[in-house]
Amino acid sequence: MSELVGKVLIERYRIDSLIARGGMANVYQGQDLRLDRTVAIKIIHRHLSQDETFRSKFFREAQLAARVAHPNLVNVFDQGSIDEIDFIVMEFVEGITLRDALNSHSAISGDEALSVIKAVLAGLASAHSAGILHRDIKPENVLLADDGRIKLSDFGLARDIGNQTDTGSLVGTVAYLSPELIRRGQALASSDIYAVGIVLYEMLTGSQPYLGQDAMQIAFQHATNRIAAPSSVRPELSPELDSIVLWCTEPDAGNRPQSAGELLTAIEKGRISIARSTLVQPPQGIAQTTKLPELRDQSFTQIIDDAIDTTGMGAAQSPDFEPEISKLASKSRMPIWVISAVLAICLGSTAGWWFSSGPGALQSMPNVAGLSVSQAEKKLAPISNQFEVRNVFDSSAVGTVVGTQPRSALPVPHGSKIILLVSKGAEQISVPKLSGLDLVSASAKIVADRLVVGAVSQRFSTKAPLGTVITTLPKPGVAANVGSSVDLVISLGQIPSVIAMPSAVAKTTLAAAGLKIGKMTFEFSSTVNKGDVISFAPESTVMTQGSKIDLVISRGAQLVKMPVVIGETILAAQDLLQGLGLNVVIDTKWLTSQYGIKKVNGASAKAGTDLLVGDTVTIRSR
């Protein structure tokens, strides 16, 4: 639908660029021309827009989503149709999906995973309280905004809780479908909880619990198996996380939390106390979790016409959902327990061959981290010859294998495809310009750029206002590894001026600014009162709290006594007065050649008078 870019819908929305492709609809970034805001515009594929039943389901998404408003749900603004284009206008969330994050980082920490799930549950609880089921919870529908918000999106499969007894067809993403949906086509609030449990398992382990060649195999495992505890993959995970996953994925819907609100409350109040030892064991008659070869992506929302046959033999073709076993029973005079026993024997024999000597035989995945691609392929050759190299950002040397999918130590079927995760070097980003920002704003910008706030120091500055960033280390514009630290230098403002202050007041003022007194010298001053500061100077070019300031203190004006100059020769009187620091003016009729013999007979100041150094005295000789 590239021809849609640049198109204006109903004279209000301009379509700018494609941001996500889907099996049923594409999502574009656009502009609300009236309100001047960026929006997301979801447009169903043209071939589906011809189906009135699908169109009504599509628009029902907007109607249902508009019934709830919550910070952890993507808001729906509008819906409409023009020129056979059916669209929904939604809140635009700048960021990535949880699937993007998992593709980049595989498993994440327990605390991070729990934080994401609590946000999802908060939004989902709002929907459940409004009587709405989501029915398509998966990492692709969890948005991680750049500003830290977490939002649940895509109510394309949502339905009223009261309208769930029979779906008519099996809908959703097969990797997250609950057993009751697969067996009976029945969706409940606890079906959403099952999907939440699968998403949490995937965040904690880096892999979905069931993998297979096609949707049928995966659905079969959901209908017959029991999800293992995440700690079976990552032993360091806490029993509480195991308990949450296992409670959410109970095969019997009645044993799960009955709503997102119930689960969220239990998590927040620490009421998850089911013992891991009792939960890890599968219920009697339910097979252990088994991973089949993953040959294609099962993350897209799918409509699997009618029902999945829980024997793994195929799908029913009736337009109304009816489990295959029930059909067999209705067409046979044999009791259903006889049919069930025969099917169980067949399944047991087939499964025994498949997982022992057949294509499903399992081997432990070796650890090839730190090897080159060729070395890794050689080490993995006994398991498979199907490899895919996927370059990822990592601090390891470029070209070094940093991991695999499936992860090391996991059991994998012989001959299955192995993805080698190869380092393309650490991802780098340019250090942003932060000068002039306050500490909070600068820290937010650092975190938004996927860097870390490092050491924060302070120093005095004649240019940067108090509390703002003076500079950073590394400098702005320098390329730094994502996740590396950026040190900040914050301004303490200017050093306070203490000129003409009494020395005691000057010391107090500087101490209040966190400065200490260094050297103190004293000088005469005819302009600065005795004891006041004549001048000050920092002891270094970089001044921080605790640095020292040198002070020059006034001794006050310097006084001299007027000597007796009358009777002295002009030259002798001039030398005497200048020697005391006085300026001399000679009032005489004699030539300078006679200064050595002519006598002074008068002066402007009397002998013994106090004069300031620098004063002017006139002597006369006539």
What residues are annotated to the active site?
A: 136
Kindly state the tokens that stand for 606. 């009397």
Angle at 13 between CA 12 and CA 15, to 5 degrees: 155
Residues 26, 140: Cα–Cα separation, whole Å: 13
For residue 393, give both structure tokens.
């950002």
Q: Tell which residue, 513, 520, 571, 589, has the closest CA to residue 550.
A: 520
Contact, 495 vs 463, CB < 8 A?
no
> Which residue do the tokens 């970089």 mark?
542
Quote the CA–CA distance of 72 and 92 in Å, as a whole number: 13
Among 248, 243, 250, CA closest to 271: 243
Kind plus residue range of the DSSP H or E element containing 220: helix 215-224
Distance CA 492, CA 459 (A): 5
CB of 248 closer than 8 Å to CB of 328: no
What proportions of the chain, in percent to the nearest 5, are helix, strand and coil? 30, 25, 45
**Backbone angle region of 450, left / alpha / beta, with phi > 0 → left and psi within -120 to 50 → alpha:** left
| Cα–Cα separations (whole angstroms), residue 586 to 566, 574, 589, 606, 609 | 13, 8, 10, 16, 19
Q: How far apart are CA 291 and CA 323, in angstroms?
A: 24
CA distances, 582 to each of 559, 562, 566, 569 (Å): 10, 9, 16, 17
What Rg, from alpha-carbon coordinates, does the chain have? Answer: 42
